Amino acid sequence: MILIHRCLLAVALLGSLTASAQTIKQIPLPASQNPSNADIPASGAVWAGDTLYISGWLDPDMKSHTDTASQTVGTLKDLQKFLESQKLTLGDVVMVRMYLGGDPAKGGKMDVAGMTAGYRQFFGSKEQPHKPARTTLQVVLPAGERGALVEIDMVAVRTK
């Protein structure tokens, strides 16, 4: 009898692992995040069940947004558009990670005040009161001609 229960448990676990493996769906990087259409070995996002894991996102209009606040707004607007393509909103976001590059105008330090000013337009406002968990880090971002000061990744959950 114990052997039968263990076999049934093993079959149930295998079935749930197989079912969860079938719910993973990769979403390619949109043109805003891969303008040269390069063969990048990463997905723009990955669905795992009802959870969407979004890769690091940069402001697609970085050439005209040269400070942390405007890059935060530009990046969040592009992420908002991407979320809508997945039938989600910023209210579905449960985790945000903000990666801030050192701002030359701030002596190479990250501009937390600028990031917060941009961020508040999207989270914790009267229009969108939801406040996801958030981590903010200073990192070295791809500089090159684009001059990145902000990169954002997030996790969103489709509620039932």
Break the chain into its structural domains and give their ranges: 24-33+42-157
The listed range with the strongest mean pLDDT (37-41, 78-82, 138-142) is: 78-82
CA dihedral 135, 136, 138, 142 (to 10 degrees): 90
Positive/negative CA dihedral, 76, 65, 143, 112: negative
**Span 110-123, pLDDT tens digits:** 999 999 999 999 99
pLDDT confidence tier of residue 19, bands split at 50, 70 and 90 = very low
Model pLDDT, residue 10: 45
CB 128 within 8 A of CB 91: yes
Q: What is the pLDDT of residues 53-104, one digit of tens each?
A: 999 999 999 888 999 999 999 999 999 999 999 999 999 999 999 999 998 8
CATH architecture, range 24-33+42-157 = 2-Layer Sandwich (3.30)
d(CA 145, CA 38): 17
- Is the Cβ–Cβ distance between 111 and 69 less than 8 Å? yes
Q: Write down the pLDDT at residue 21.
A: 53
